[in-house]
Structure 1
Amino acid sequence: MARSLDGLVLAPVADQAPGQVGTGTRFTYHERDGRVWAEYAGGDIVRGYLVGTRRGDRLDFRYVQLKHDGSTSSGHCESTVGELPDGRVRLTETWAWESQPGSGTSVVEQLAEPPAAAGGPVVQQVTQHAP
């Protein structure tokens, strides 16, 4: 089984249709005892939530979101958890709206960590002012 999703931030690798999630959307995942949930926002989405379960490398969840135009939408998604060659997590998703017509597939990937978080050097700038 791929590693835990808890605390990971993922983003779509491509834009969907207007009014849906896109490359500017960020998903912050949580995972405990086979339960998964996430908050997301960005792009056309003001706020969104997903909640569901994980069995092995399979996620099954429902999502609901609020868009900037004030409309809401919801749906169902099944995802497969995978790992990229560099160790980041990738979710391959098959989704269907429940509040409107439409379905599709998408891919979201864990964002790369900044060098300091990944164990790289930390650069600190110190400014001193003369008395």
Structure 2
Amino acid sequence: MQNPSATVQARLHNRRFVVANNAQGLSGTGTVFHYKVEDGVISSTYQGGRIRLGTQVGRVTGVDSIELLYHCMTINGELLAGWSRGTVGVDQAGHTTLSFVWGWLSGQTGGGESSYVELTVDN
């Protein structure tokens, strides 16, 4: 059986993602996430839109699941932090997708659901 982190690593490592849906969240049009995965450990940076700079750290938790902690500085100088649990998938066009349930830990309250799609030449 293949190592669960290898499947996620193949779908995420050194790939970029954009927001598909994030109605309750801060990231949006113009925000780009760049992921790295090594031995089940996930890291990423993100920026654009309302995000001046953000980072994430997390781990692979299953064959298609991940968990992350994130923090960012907004263009308005807000410092925010939160958590997320996600599923890695593939859409009909073959692009990697990410779907998350998330919540704030610091700087804001509440949470929501969001989805992202791999940034490719055709999207």
TM-score (norm 2): 0.85
Whole-Å separation in 2 of the counterparts to 1:84 and 1:10: 13
Greater C-alpha Rg:
1
Q: Using the alignment, how far apart are the partners of 1:112 and 1:14 within structure 2?
A: 17
1:37 aligned partner: 43
Q: Cα RMSD over matched residues? A: 1.5
Q: In the alignment, which residue of structure 1 is the partner of 2:92?
A: 85
The sequence identity of aligned pairs, in percent, is: 29
1:21 paired residue number:
27
Distance in 2 of aligned mates of 1:113 and 1:28? 15
Q: What is the aligned length?
A: 113
TM (norm. structure 1) is 0.80
Match in the other structure for 2:4: none
What's the CA shift string for 1:15-67, capped at 9, x where partnerless? Answer: 5358x100210000000110111000000100000000013211101000000
Q: Is the 8 A contact 2:24 2:112 kept in 1?
A: no
Which structure carries more relative contact order (alpha carbon 8 Å, separation 6+)? 2
Residue aligning to 1:67: 74
The question of whether the paired residues in 1 share the 8 Å contact of 2:22 and 2:114 is answered with no
**1:76 corresponds to which letter in structure 2?**
W
Instruction: Name the aligned partner's letter for residue 13 of structure 2.
Output: D
Q: How does 1:102-117 map to 2 (within 5 A)?
A: 102-113=110-121
Higher share of residues assigned helix: 2
1:95 aligns with 2:82: no
